[in-house]
């Protein structure tokens, strides 16, 4: 069961039911609410429909089914609650929270919610505006250098996964020759890659090519700090990232960022092996679980330091 919480009235709008069973125990509708599909269908539904809360109505004794369901659902940026009404075990009142009159166990929370979302929004906008003002001379010189060296547009746009797997189009300074550009990033850039121009090699090494993403931040598609958004067809050891790492899409429970915990810890640039992409994903998940404004400030402060000292994998 999933619901959409209204902050204005604190009412709950039930959207529908999802159940893997298709038998007499699982009718097509319950109390007038239709069954919309299996649990796997809920993942896609929650990415197309504003959903705040998923309530798992299952007895605690069905441990394996509960764990299997939670494993599927934890990649979503929603609150997940396990209904306690079917449990014969009795806990203290502090063990429960309540959705209306229904006692539930808190299984997962949205990583950034309530006032924290407001604080992060303000942080993003302020830092992006200040950065654009201070770095505008660097961006202007870069644009001129790109135009003088090779034919083609100054900017490069590429589809990537954003918050909750939403497709976004990010901006970068063009670093490759126009006739050799790889819009889907099906082949990772390697050392001395012939596709990369001389200007492109420098701006990729220093991450200047990423500066136009400040406009994505102002549009609300990116944050200053968060998991870096990857190209859709990016691969490690000939495997797509989301096939190589279990739970990969849990990175998208928050808005992606221009820099992140993985980047300042040396996991930027080429991810040609499964171990490298796993290290990046693990750092991203650590950031999501431990997020705070102070952590964002620390990452922003350390990003220039990491660019100077930990850029051996950036080509």
Last residue of a domain, one of 89, 108, 127: 108
Q: Please indicate, yes or no, if residue 248 is contained in any of the structural domains.
A: yes
In a domain, 275, yes or no: yes
What is the pLDDT averaged over residues 152-179?
Answer: 89
- Cα separation, 165 vs 45, whole angstroms: 12
Q: Which residue has the higher pLDDT, 12 or 274?
A: 274
Residue 16 reports pLDDT greater than 50: yes
Confirm whether 291 is domain-assigned: yes
The confidence score (pLDDT) of residue 6 equals 44
Q: Which domain holds residue 23?
A: 2-108
Same domain, 153 and 297: yes
Higher pLDDT, 139 or 230: 139
User: In the listed set 81, 108, 135, which residue is the last one of a domain according to the structure?
Assistant: 108
Same domain, 134 and 18: no
Same domain? 51 vs 135: no
Q: Is the distance from CB of 178 to CB of 147 less than 8 angstroms? A: no
Clarify whether residues 294 and 176 are in a common domain: yes
Q: Let me know if residue 46 belongs to a domain.
A: yes
Asked if the structure places residue 314 within a domain, the reply is no
Does one domain contain both 26 and 96? Answer: yes
- Whether 57 has a pLDDT exceeding 90, the answer reads no
Q: Which one is predicted more confidently, 4 or 176?
A: 176
Express each pLDDT in 82-96 by its tens digit: 887 666 556 556 667
User: According to the model, what pLDDT value does residue 8 have?
Assistant: 40
Q: In what order do the strands lie in the sheet with 33-37?
A: 29-30, 33-37, 12-18, 2-5, 53-56, 79-83, 102-108, 97-99
Q: Does the residue 236 lie in any domain?
A: yes
Total structural domains within the chain = 2
H helix or E strand, kind and range, residue 122: helix 115-149
Same domain, 192 and 300: yes
**Is the pLDDT at 136 greater than 90, yes or no?**
yes
Q: What is the pLDDT of residue 110?
A: 85
Residue 315 lies in a domain: no
Residue 246 pLDDT: 81
- 5 pLDDT exceeds 50? no
Q: What is the mean pLDDT of residues 43-66?
A: 82
Report whether pLDDT(239) > 60: yes
Residue 127 sits in the same domain as residue 258: yes
188 near 270, Cβ under 8 Å?
yes
Q: Residue 274 in contact with residue 247, Cβ under 8 Å?
A: no
Q: State the Cα–Cα distance between residues 30 and 226, nearest whole angstrom.
A: 40
In a domain, residue 31? The reply is: yes
Mean predicted lDDT score pLDDT of the chain: 83
Looking at the DSSP assignment, which residues form a beta bridge with residue 235? Answer: 240
> Could you read off the pLDDT of 58-76 as tens digits, one per residue?
776 777 888 888 888 888 8
In tens, the pLDDT along 185-213 reads 666 666 777 788 888 889 988 889 999 99
**pTM of the predicted model, to two decimals?**
0.80
Structure tokens at 61: 């004794």
Same domain, 163 and 67: no
Among 108, 137, 168, identify where a domain stops: 108
186 shares its domain with 285: yes
* Residue 36 host element (H or E): strand 33-37
Across the range 233-251, mean pLDDT stands at 83
Radius of gyration of the chain from its Cα atoms, rounded to whole angstroms: 22
Lowest mean pLDDT of 76-80, 102-106, 186-190, 289-293, name the range. 186-190
Same domain, 37 and 148: no
My answer on whether 99 and 162 are in the same domain is no
Identify whether residues 128 and 102 lie together within a single domain.
no
Q: Quick one: pLDDT at residue 200?
A: 87
């Amino acid at each position: 069961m999933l619901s959409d919480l209204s902050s204005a009235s604190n009412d709950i709008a039930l959207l529908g039911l999802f159940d893997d069973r298709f038998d007499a125990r699982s009718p097509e509708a319950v109390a007038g609410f239709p069954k919309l599909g299996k649990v796997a269908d809920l993942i896609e539904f929650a990415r197309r429909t504003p959903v705040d809360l998923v309530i798992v109505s299952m007895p605690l004794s069905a441990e394996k089914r509960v764990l299997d369901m939670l494993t599927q659902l934890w990649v979503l940026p929603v609150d997940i609650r396990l209904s306690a009404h079917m449990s014969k075990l009795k806990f203290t009142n502090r063990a429960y929270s309540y959705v209306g009159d229904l006692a539930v166990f808190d299984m997962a929370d949205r990583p950034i919610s309530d006032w924290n979302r407001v604080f992060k929004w303000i942080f993003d906008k302020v830092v992006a505006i200040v950065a654009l003002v201070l770095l505008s001379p660097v961006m202007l010189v870069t644009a001129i250098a790109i135009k003088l060296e090779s034919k083609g547009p100054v900017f490069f746009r590429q589809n990537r996964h954003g918050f909750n797997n939403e497709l976004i189009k990010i901006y970068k300074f063009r670093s490759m020759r126009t006739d050799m550009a790889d819009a889907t990033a099906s082949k990772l850039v390697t050392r001395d890659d012939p596709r990369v121009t001389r200007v492109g090699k420098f701006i990729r090494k220093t991450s200047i090519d990423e500066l136009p993403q400040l406009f994505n931040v102002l549009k609300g598609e990116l944050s200053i700090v968060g998991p870096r958004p990857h190209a859709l067809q990016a691969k490690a050891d000939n495997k797509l990232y989301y096939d190589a790492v279990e739970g990969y899409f849990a990175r998208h429970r928050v808005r992606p960022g221009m820099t992140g915990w993985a980047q300042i810890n040396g996991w930027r640039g080429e991810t040609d092996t499964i171990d490298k992409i796993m290290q990046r994903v693990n750092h991203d998940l650590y950031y999501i679980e431990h997020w705070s404004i102070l952590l964002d400030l620390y990452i922003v402060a350390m990003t220039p330091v990491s660019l100077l000292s930990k850029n051996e994998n950036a080509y």
